[in-house]
Amino acid sequence: MPPRLLVDLDKLDLDHVEDGPEGIRKCNPHRYEFELLDGIIHYDPEELAVVGFKNVRDDEFWVRGHIPGRPLVPGVLMCEAAAQLCSYFIKRYTKTEQFLGFGGLDKVKFRGQVVPGDKLILLAKNTQMVTRRSVFDTQGVVNGKLVFQGVVIGMPL
């Protein structure tokens, strides 16, 4: 049985964009084909949680080669998108000049497929925040179904 979602999505307007690409760029240094977040739906500093999304397009750089004729979002890109969401949260929460770089992944499970046309909802909840390390539980959801989960470990860079 899949775990409970980190944030109750039924209480959120999933079409509401609290912060778009320009706001995300203020927090994350990623550009061009590696901007894997399209928007932030919900930022909650009290609950240490954030929800964002990625609209998966059919013209993305990986589509042609990652299963020709049946493109699937590579799992590593889902993990990267979740890490970018965590980086966004830390930058906004701590208001530092550093961004949160990848320090590791743990307990990653893929539970479904993500394809062009899907809206991948990304959820993250901070479980540890110390000077040199932040840890987040993360999840990805498409059409109400959990498609991946994992722990993102970040280090300030």
Q: Is 42 an active-site residue?
A: no
CATH code where residue 14 lies: 3.10.129.10
pLDDT at residue 149, as a whole number: 98
What is the DSSP annotation of 64-116? TTSSTTS----HHHHHHHHHHHHHHHHHHHH--S--EEEEEEEEEEE-S---T
Number of domains in the chain: 1
The single-letter DSSP state of residue 15 is T
> Is residue 1 a part of any domain in this protein?
no
Range of the domain at 41: 9-156
> Is residue 110 a part of any domain in this protein?
yes
Q: Give the active site residue among 16, 30, 42, 66.
A: 66
End-to-end CA distance of the chain: 37
> Is residue 4 a part of any domain in this protein?
no
pTM over 0.85: yes
> Is residue 20 a part of any domain in this protein?
yes
> Is residue 3 a part of any domain in this protein?
no
Tell me the pLDDT tens digit for each residue of 35-88.
Answer: 999 999 999 999 999 999 999 999 999 999 999 999 999 999 999 999 999 999
> Is residue 14 a part of any domain in this protein?
yes
pLDDT higher than 80, residue 1: no
Residue found under tokens 């046309």: 117
